[in-house]
Amino acid sequence: MQIKIRDLSHTYNRGSRMEFTAIKNLNIDIKQGEFIGIIGHTGSGKSTFIEHLNALSLPTLGQINWSFKKDVFNKKTNKYDQIHESIDVVASWVEKNVHKNGFIDYKYKTRKVKKVSNPKEIRKRVAIAFQFAEYQLFEETIEKDIMFGPMSFGVPKQEAAMRAKQYLNLCGLDDTYLNKSPFGLSGGQKRRVALAGILAIEPDIIVADEPTAGLDPAGVREILSIFKKLHKMGKTIIIVTHDLDNILEVTDRVVIMKHGRIVKDGPTYDVLKDTEFLDNNGLQSPKLMSFMTKLEKKGWKLPKIKSIDELATFISQKIQGDK
């Protein structure tokens, strides 16, 4: 699936004293298989932006296009054919005339919105895990909780049960957890069960809002490793977070938002290495980048390193080579 966004703006409480424009004139393309990080201070528009990715929120102005391949059963051949489908939502200003006695008395502008023709299809393909996703757990057993999502989209019970087992295992929990209550798990385990429930829908794009918030270092590593696996499987991953070190380690592209606008969009390593830009926008450089900069000032020539483990391996090899 690909998403194209053009001139997207969203205003809350339009026409009231509480009117507030959260995002302004956003233009961005999201391609299948990308691993994207979205960063920015609180109030920068990140959450409002991601709510538009699966039509939970609709634009005040602008256009969103979702394009994807879909399997459709062909009765003539008794086989499934793969077709290309495209869904749009468009919101724009149109000028209308008010006539009086056969003449134009005055003109005014109003919003014209082309609504999403099939929002369920979009939400099946673009899944959002909001911050503290474990709060959405509600069933008696973990298996039932994971099965709920796919069954809501018409997946047969037997197939949903198979998916529950498959995606629970992918998230690092074995079959013995299926009949357990989700409420007896640790915070990190609950987070993984909630993620398994989203994966069981089998979306093309997975959006995660602060997926590592509140977790200990071990829990953070577990969640990031799951996203790495999913990316290798061809899924598009979008992570919203304040942790720039995590963004540096796992993503290929980073989008920086400020005051409702995209102020930077590019390869993760190149963007986060620009310490001057980060400082000017009130963002602290990743700790790894800061340490690498100190090494470079001491004359070290470093390759493109994205994690502490990679840096430790490089330093170890260099020390061994210098002996």
Band of the pLDDT at 77, cuts 50, 70, 90? confident
Q: pLDDT tens-digit profile of 146-184?
A: 999 999 999 999 999 999 999 999 999 999 999 999 999
CB atoms within 10 A of CB 316: 10
Band of the pLDDT at 116, cuts 50, 70, 90? confident
- Quote the percentage of the chain above a pLDDT of 70: 93
Q: Which domains does the chain have, with CATH numbers?
A: 3-285 (3.40.50.300), 286-322 (no CATH)
Asked if residues 174 and 165 have their Cβ atoms less than 8 Å apart, the reply is no
Q: pLDDT tens-digit profile of 192-229?
A: 999 999 999 999 999 999 999 888 888 899 999 999 99
Count of all residues that appear for the chain in the document: 323
Handedness of CA 268, 273, 276, 281 (dihedral sign): positive
Helix (H, G, I), strand (E, B) or coil at 217: helix
| E strand map for the chain | 2-12, 20-30, 35-39, 61-74, 79-100, 103-114, 126-129, 205-209, 236-240, 253-258, 261-267
Q: CA 220, 226, 227 angle in degrees (round to 5)?
A: 90
Band of the pLDDT at 269, cuts 50, 70, 90? very high
Band of the pLDDT at 78, cuts 50, 70, 90? confident
Asked if residues 268 and 248 have their Cβ atoms less than 8 Å apart, the reply is yes
Q: Look at the pTM and tell me if it is higher than 0.85.
A: yes
Average pLDDT, the chain: 90
Asked if residues 197 and 146 have their Cβ atoms less than 8 Å apart, the reply is yes
If you average pLDDT over residues 243-267, what whole number do you get?
96
- pLDDT the model gives residue 132: 84
Amino acid, res. 35: F
